Every structure is written in C-alpha cells, then in structure tokens.
Amino acid sequence: MIEKQIAPCGANCIICMAYLRTKNHCPGCRFDDKNKSISCIQCKIKNCHELNDNNMKYCFECKKYPCDKIKHLDKRYRKNYCYSMIESLNYLNSNGILRHIENQKEIWICKKCGGVICVHRGFCIICGEIWYPNIGNKRSKIK
C-alpha cells in the first residue's frame, strides 16, 4: 500500500473491487482515469472544487468536513460494507499516513494467505477466505 492509494474521501483503493479486478483494472482515485468506470470518473468527491481549488489531499483538511457528500458516502458504505470513510479520515488525520496504511494492512490483508480482502465482496481475492466485519471495523473470520 502506498499513500496515493488512499483516496481523498479516505477510501483505500487497494481493497476496492474496481482495483482488484483484472479486466478494466482501475489504478485508484489519484491515478489516470483510463479504464475507470464513469461513476469513478465523475466522482463528486474526487472532483470537489473545494479540494482541488485549495490543493488539499484529503477531505478532513476542508473547512466543510464532513460535508453532505462524505456523510452520504459514509452512510452507504457503513450500511453495505461496514466501512466508514469518516472513521478512516479521522484516523488518518490523527495518526498520519504511515500509521494509517499500517492500520489498513492489519484490517484488510488476509491472515491466511496474505491476499487482499475486497471491501465490496467480503472475502480474500487470492484464497477466497470469507471475512466479516465486527466491532472496531476489524475483520474476523467466519467460523
């Protein structure tokens, strides 16, 4: 994981289904738009004028944080994927990028094989080990 793989909204691009797929692989939010879906290209957060006009890397740097766009995305991801953009951004803000990346590795790297857990599918893309979220946004193996 590298710093450029953490999106402005706090999402970890490496655990995204679009990044993990082999066909039309998305390189991540901070990279060229080639092969990205139209929804990713037109992302309101990635294209936010507040971020871009003020050369901010992350939404937490904005005076409007958390804005309605982030709140909406956070609500959808909490409900559907047990992942919080706001928690991710707050952790990043409090602990810095290097500690944040280490925390993301602890949560999203498969303990069985070292593969990546897909946030959208809930299993390791290498070995298929099924995981589910529990308290603290940590992932635990289903017994």
Per-residue pLDDT tens digits for 88-115: 999 999 999 999 999 999 889 998 999 9
The chain-wide mean pLDDT, for the chain, equals: 86
- In whole angstroms, what is the distance from residue 72 CA to residue 78 CA? 10
Query: What is the structure's pLDDT at 1?
Result: 62
Examine residue 48 and state whether it is found in any structural domain, yes or no: yes
Domain assignment present for residue 44? The answer is yes
Residue 135 has pLDDT above 70, yes or no: no
Assigned domain for 62 exists: yes
In a domain, 8, yes or no: yes
| C-alpha to C-alpha distance for 49 and 41, rounded to whole angstroms | 15
Q: Residues 11-63: pLDDT tens digits?
A: 999 999 989 988 878 888 888 887 787 888 888 998 898 888 899 999 999 99
Q: Domain of 31?
A: 3-109
* 8 Å CB contact between 19 and 7: no
The structural domain count of the chain equals: 1
User: Of 130, 110, 112, 113, which is closest to residue 121 (Cα–Cα)?
Assistant: 130
Range in 38-47, 66-75, 124-133 the model is least confident about: 124-133
Q: Is residue 105 part of a domain?
A: yes
Q: How far apart are CA 13 and CA 9, in angstroms?
A: 10
pLDDT at 2 over 90: no
Q: Is residue 129 part of a domain?
A: no
Task: Please check whether residue 114 lies inside any domain of the structure.
Answer: no
Which pLDDT score is estimated for 25?
84
Residue 63 falls within a domain, yes or no?
Answer: yes
The predicted pLDDT at position 59 comes to: 96
pTM of the model: 0.84
